Amino acid sequence: MNQIDTRGLSCPQPVVLVLSEIKTGNDEFEILLDSEASRENVKRLLSKNKLEFDIKENSDHTVYHVTR
């Protein structure tokens, strides 16, 4: 399973990386996020593409586990 680490990146870089992963057609991947803006923007992107995801909050970052 691929893991996209967007920690420390500012928008729109996280969205661009996630969009690239979506286009690969992989059935499952994880996204590591550490900023509120990135979390919201990536959440909108995933919802727009009708992808399901679980959210896991860690002390210093959030993980979106995405499945098709």
Q: Return the CATH fold of 2-67.
A: Translation Initiation Factor IF3 (3.30.110)
The pTM of the full predicted model, rounded to 2 decimals, is 0.95
Residue 41: what pLDDT?
Answer: 97
What is the C-alpha separation between 68 and 59, in angstroms, rounded? 27
Residue 13: what pLDDT?
Answer: 98
- b (16+ CB within 10 A) / e for 8-37: ebeeeebbebbeebbeeeeeebbbbbbbee
36-54-62 Cα angle (round to 5): 35
Residue 23: what pLDDT?
Answer: 96
16-64 residue pLDDT tens: 999 999 999 999 999 999 999 999 999 999 999 999 999 999 999 999 9
Give Cα 5 to chain centroid, integer Å.
Answer: 8
